[in-house]
């Protein structure tokens, strides 16, 4: 075992890794860990998991793959990266004193810190190895179908996304995501595998990674339009820092409607009520911010407060709506999408 730049590097699999839980992984890897394994094809597939400590499908998928290939050669070299093991110990996305491990990669707008430095080192190391493709495995906290995210609209990126599911989101914001960084070196994709703990999400991730291991190359021509439903995440919606919110506390400035995540990936009509604003709270004029790729706040084009109700002003398709108030504050309430016609 070697430790460089606060990252553990290994060239073999510790036996304990095959069965260990996400909450106990810190005992095996007290810091983020990178494992390189050889295969029949030299250019490695890079797979990152647990960049968010509460999103455990990636770890379960890696464990299943390690068991599948315990007695046979890997068809391609593979590198596994295990991210926020300290947050995983607590079952949290990130700890209060940590940056988001999916916002620290090259291209980030964050100030330099230990985490951005080791993320840069990992990226550069994989680029030197001639990385074949990059897969970042995630979960949603709200109810969503399985889908993938890409940060480029080129043929290889879209083919990689469509290989996972016909639902593909083009999401170039926020900056510093792993998928966006690795898109400079290879086709890269984020897998959104439903909620953590679901066997279907693990199986889907394993199936996709095995397909990638067997690919001799990734086609350069884009997939046919009928094979893919392509969306653009045009705005990231957050709750303003000075606004308290809740799903259950009637005293909060913004009270969100129950089962809001049922609206994910649905065409929501204008006038749909998302919650209500406490009359005593000045809306200023809105409790939400909706940032586009270039940083503009377009909330006024999508939301209004009328008779103390927060509602949509135009039809929209949300995704990643969460019922977890901590996650909403640490990340966002949702994204608003538009279809990309090809």
pTM of the model: 0.93
Q: Phi first, then psi: give them for residue 284, nearest 5 degrees.
A: 55, 40
Residue whose pair of structure tokens reads 């398709």 in the numeric block: 317
Q: How high is the pLDDT of residue 89?
A: 98
Q: How high is the pLDDT of residue 227?
A: 92
Give the mean model confidence (pLDDT) for residues 80-97: 97
Give the whole-number percent of the chain exceeding pLDDT 90. Answer: 93
pLDDT band for position 280 (50/70/90)?
low
Give the whole-number percent of the chain exceeding pLDDT 70. Answer: 97
Q: How high is the pLDDT of residue 6?
A: 84
Do 190 and 149 meet the contact criterion of CB atoms below 8 Å apart?
Answer: yes
Q: How high is the pLDDT of residue 279?
A: 77
Give the mean model confidence (pLDDT) for residues 67-92: 97
Q: Give me 194's structure tokens.
A: 């439903």
- Write out pLDDT tens, residues 112-165: 999 999 999 999 999 999 999 999 999 999 999 999 999 999 999 999 999 999
Give the Cα separation of 224 and 150 in Å (integer): 17
Residue whose pair of structure tokens reads 């068809």 in the numeric block: 75
Give the Cα separation of 87 and 98 in Å (integer): 9
Q: Which of 95-109, 146-160, 271-285, 328-342 has the lowest mean pLDDT?
A: 271-285
Q: Phi first, then psi: give them for residue 78, nearest 5 degrees.
A: -140, 145
C-alpha angle with apex 61: 117 to 260, nearest 5 degrees?
85
Q: Which of 55-59, 269-273, 284-288 has the lowest mean pLDDT?
A: 284-288
For residue 1, pLDDT over 80 is answered with: no
Q: How high is the pLDDT of residue 286?
A: 92
pLDDT band for position 18 (50/70/90)?
very high
Q: How high is the pLDDT of residue 245?
A: 96
pLDDT band for position 284 (50/70/90)?
low
For residue 252, pLDDT over 70 is answered with: yes
For residue 329, pLDDT over 80 is answered with: yes
DSSP state of 269: P
DSSP state of 297: B
Give the mean model confidence (pLDDT) for residues 19-26: 98
- Write out pLDDT tens, residues 196-238: 999 999 999 999 999 999 999 999 999 999 999 999 999 999 9
Residue from 91, 98, 32, 102 nearest 56 by CA: 91
Q: Give me 159's structure tokens.
A: 């083919």
Structural domains of the chain, ranges and CATH numbers in brackets:
2-227 (3.40.630.10), 234-335 (no CATH)
For residue 283, pLDDT over 70 is answered with: no
Q: Give me 328's structure tokens.
A: 């909403």
For residue 281, pLDDT over 90 is answered with: no
Q: How high is the pLDDT of residue 2?
A: 55
């Amino acid at each position: 075992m070697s430790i460089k730049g606060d990252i553990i590097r290994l060239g073999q699999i510790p036996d304990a890794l095959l069965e260990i839980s996400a909450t106990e992984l810190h005992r095996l890897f007290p810091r983020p860990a990178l494992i390189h394994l050889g295969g029949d094809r030299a250019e490695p597939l890079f797979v990152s998991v647990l960049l968010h400590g509460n999103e455990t499908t990636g770890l379960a998928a890696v464990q299943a793959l390690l068991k599948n290939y315990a007695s046979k050669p890997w068809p391609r070299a593979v590198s596994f990266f295990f991210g926020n093991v300290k947050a995983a110990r607590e079952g949290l996305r990130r700890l209060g004193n940590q940056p988001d491990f999916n916002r620290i990669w090259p291209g980030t707008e964050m100030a330099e810190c230990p985490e951005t430095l080791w993320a840069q080192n990992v990226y550069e190391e994989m680029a030197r190895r001639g990385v074949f493709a990059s897969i970042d495995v995630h979960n949603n906290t709200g109810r969503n179908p399985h889908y993938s995210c890409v940060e480029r609209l080129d043929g290889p990126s879209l083919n990689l996304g469509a290989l996972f599911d016909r639902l593909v989101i083009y999401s170039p914001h926020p900056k510093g995501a792993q998928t966006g960084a690795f898109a400079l070196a290879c086709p890269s994709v984020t897998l959104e595998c439903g909620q953590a703990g679901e066997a279907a999400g693990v199986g889907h991730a394993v199936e996709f990674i095995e397909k990638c291991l067997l690919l001799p190359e990734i086609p350069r021509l884009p997939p046919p339009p009928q094979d893919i439903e392509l969306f653009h995440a045009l705005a990231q919606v957050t709750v303003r820092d000075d606004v308290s919110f809740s799903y259950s506390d009637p005293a909060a400035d913004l009270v969100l409607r129950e089962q809001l995540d049922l609206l994910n990936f649905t065409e929501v009509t204008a006038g749909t009520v998302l919650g209500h604003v406490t009359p005593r709270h000045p809306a200023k004029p809105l409790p939400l911010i909706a940032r586009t790729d270039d940083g503009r706040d377009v909330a006024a084009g999508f939301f209004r407060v009328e008779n103390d109700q927060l509602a949509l002003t135009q039809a929209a398709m949300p995704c990643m709506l969460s019922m977890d108030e901590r996650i909403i504050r640490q990340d966002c309430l949702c994204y608003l999408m538009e279809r990309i016609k090809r």
